[in-house]
Chains A and B, each alone.
Chain A
């Protein structure tokens, strides 16, 4: 397998193909032996379903295996032994109709192709008891926020279980990706999750460039990484502003919000959009860097680096903040590992997992960036991880700008895609790893495009984190994970 920057690529014919039984046994054996699941995707191929598993070893290498099953026959579930697979098996069943025998909970991920009444009639988990009560909120919440539905099963104020009900944002992204020219999908990709536009765009671009055999130079990768780090800074600031607002610490909310404005306006100077839209295109970047822009970007970075420590001190020292965040919404390392959490939620629970390290990104091998890891797993840890990551990103960007002041690299043209290839790309967005898988057919046409936002895996982490907490702590738990609805619903 060839590692090209952020994307790995393998010829479809070279993927080991096993019968369902041995395939399943092999997967479970690898997962027991300390590999982790990156993704599990299924594609309808005439009357069969091709299921592809991508695992990652601790030495960063990816391992791809495949089986083909008749959908009505299916295979025996793996979720009971390896809970991290639950979302993948549910999605597989929903998207391909493949039977997954014995699966404990085949709840649809996003109710594709169904009427909303199907969502309403879903049987939620129940807890029996005289003093047990349920609180259902959503899909519309009391803020300017996306829709999702949460049902809490409570005893008094204490949450015993939370069932998260998503799919309201499902608009048909993956099908649409197959309806268009694969070389010009960036505007669509940038709307998979608007707050992760750059990470998704990068994952798409590198997968496509791998398939087209297009080699980029190191500076283009650096330019993309600068855009990604700016997006990470902006969204971590947005998360901190939200957490501060949720505990009523208004000075934190307004100040982090104002600093986020500086971060996204810097992005706008680079590419014309506060969300980094248009910054990345297959084959290169579309950034403008005349001297006055570079000067302004430097000034903005200096402002952020000067003003952030002041509000960080104030936020972290505030008794009210500490009181509300410490020991709230705790997810242990064992739980996070069992659920296969990724990104900041995993790192806040003591798991060192960061796609910027796991894959040898060109950009991050030139100027390294250290992942922040904390063991506690509570809201306090998820806040401090953000603060540490913002600091790391800002100093990383400053170093890169000093070393490589010119990263205007207009896109090269993208030729035909190689036939019968599978490209898998991983990019570390602010929430966690974004995974894109593109498979081409016999004529280089795209036969499967699978998009995976980190939210798909992390929503269950939130459900477990609120157990045993008061229901009034839900907003702060929710904000600390900061998951995407549209990224999950696609």
Chain B
């Protein structure tokens, strides 16, 4: 009893009071690209990118492919690209995930009246990893820990797809998980939707076109929400979900 109280005293209050405004110090999050002229024929950033996330003239970075490795920022002779501690990013469609030269604000997840009505007060999520490296899984687990505590919004993980409204996918989708992902989806009652979390799930990321990958499921069932990162910070996930549901 006494030991337990000592733990309680050392613990204090850990919950982040305002998840909408929190900024994780030091985090390599949403990048910005300054509108400065590039040197003629310079393609250093594009060449350094391990996931072909960059297009040139004007420079544009696809966060659906980006693994936030900072390689583009390091090689840019004009230091145009800068990754900032901003965790808020995400989109309703893949096209929303592009960061363009000179854009300070990127497109945020748009609230949906239908999602808000159906899931705004209670959202049950079933997570399935299909080739995920466990980093996304650890960060998704973290959204329910004492710091992020997403249950305060009526959002939580459930054990069975039969209890779930959202199928949260991580990993590039492996051929060896193809059947299992389909079974999980088929077991979910309607209305239901898919969330793609991390560069792997959104675009295949580093494993786009790899030998063991089969993305057939996502071609037939399109995600309703894209959460970029490698892995996404828990705040990225929480903010994207809250935006979609139109909460606070």
What is A's interface to B at a CB cutoff of 8 Å?
110-117, 119-120, 139-140, 142-147, 167-173, 175-176, 180, 184, 186-188, 191-195, 197, 238, 251, 254-255, 257-258, 261, 265, 268-270, 272-275, 277-278, 286, 288, 293, 296, 306-307, 310-311, 313-314, 317, 484-486, 489
A314 and B9 CA atoms in complex are apart in Å by: 13
Chain B 199-225 against A: per-residue CB contact (8 Å), 1 yes, 0 no?
A: 010000011001111000000000000
Known interface pairs A146-B137, A171-B131, A307-B11; 10 further A-B residue pairs with C-beta atoms within 8 A, sorted by A's residue number: A142-B159, A143-B159, A169-B129, A169-B131, A175-B211, A187-B50, A251-B4, A277-B69, A296-B25, A314-B3
Question: Does B175 interact with chain A (Cβ within 8 Å)?
Answer: yes
Inside 8 A of B146's CB, which chain A residues have their CB? Answer: 254, 257-258
Whether B176 pairs with A119 at a CB distance below 8 angstroms is yes
Inside 8 A of A117's CB, which chain B residues have their CB? Answer: 179
A274 and B130 CA atoms in complex are apart in Å by: 22
Whether B160 pairs with A146 at a CB distance below 8 angstroms is no
A293 and B85 CA atoms in complex are apart in Å by: 15
Inside 8 A of A314's CB, which chain B residues have their CB? Answer: 3-4, 6-7
Question: Which of B24, B71, B128, B171 sits near A265, CB closer than 8 Å?
Answer: B24
Q: Which residue of A lies closest to B233 (CB)?
A: A274
Inside 8 A of A146's CB, which chain B residues have their CB? Answer: 129, 132, 134, 137
A115 and B7 CA atoms in complex are apart in Å by: 50
Determine chain B's interface SS by DSSP, over half rule.
mixed
Whether A278 pairs with B70 at a CB distance below 8 angstroms is yes
Question: Least Cβ distance of B200 to chain A in Å?
Answer: 8
Question: Does B127 interact with chain A (Cβ within 8 Å)?
Answer: yes
Whether B50 pairs with A188 at a CB distance below 8 angstroms is yes
Question: Which of A112, A119, A145, A195 sits near B212, CB closer than 8 Å?
Answer: A112
Question: Which of B26, B131, B138 sits near A269, CB closer than 8 Å?
Answer: B26
A313 and B5 CA atoms in complex are apart in Å by: 12
A434 and B18 CA atoms in complex are apart in Å by: 40
Question: Does B194 interact with chain A (Cβ within 8 Å)?
Answer: no
Whether A140 pairs with B184 at a CB distance below 8 angstroms is yes
A143 and B126 CA atoms in complex are apart in Å by: 8
Q: Which residue of B lies closest to A311 (CB)?
A: B7
Question: Which of B27, B135, B160 sits near A191, CB closer than 8 Å?
Answer: B135
Question: Does B145 interact with chain A (Cβ within 8 Å)?
Answer: yes
Inside 8 A of A195's CB, which chain B residues have their CB? Answer: 133-135, 138
Question: Least Cβ distance of A104 to chain B in Å?
Answer: 24
Whether B180 pairs with A147 at a CB distance below 8 angstroms is yes
Question: Which of A168, A172, A486 sits near B134, CB closer than 8 Å?
Answer: A486
Question: Least Cβ distance of A388 to chain B in Å?
Answer: 19
Question: Does B54 interact with chain A (Cβ within 8 Å)?
Answer: no
A147 and B51 CA atoms in complex are apart in Å by: 25
Whether A116 pairs with B137 at a CB distance below 8 angstroms is no
Question: Which of A147, A192, A307 sits near B133, CB closer than 8 Å?
Answer: A192
Whether A254 pairs with B133 at a CB distance below 8 angstroms is no
Q: List 26 A-B contacts (CB under 8 A).
A: A112-B212, A115-B175, A140-B184, A144-B127, A146-B129, A146-B134, A147-B128, A171-B207, A171-B212, A187-B67, A187-B71, A195-B138, A197-B135, A258-B147, A261-B14, A261-B145, A268-B26, A269-B25, A272-B70, A274-B27, A277-B68, A278-B69, A306-B10, A310-B6, A310-B10, A486-B134
Contacts A255-B11, A310-B7: A142 and B27 contacting too (C-beta < 8 A)?
no
